[in-house]
Amino acid sequence: MRDLGTLGGPDTSPSFINERGQVAGVSYVTFDPPPDPFLCGFPITTHPFFWSEGKMVDLGTLGGTCASTATINNRGQVAGTSNLPGDYVLHPFLWDGKLMDLGTFGGTFGVANWLNDAG
| Residue 59 pLDDT grade (very low, low, confident, very high; cuts 50, 70, 90) | very high
Contact 7, 47 (CB under 8 A): yes
Question: pLDDT value at position 69?
Answer: 95
pLDDT above 80: residue 39: no
* Partners of residue 100 on adjacent β-strands: 94
Mean pLDDT of the residues in the chain: 92
Cα distance between the two ends of the chain: 29
The whole-angstrom separation of Cα 36 and Cα 99 is: 24
The whole-angstrom separation of Cα 39 and Cα 109 is: 12
SS3 content of the chain, % helix, strand, coil (to 5): 5, 40, 60
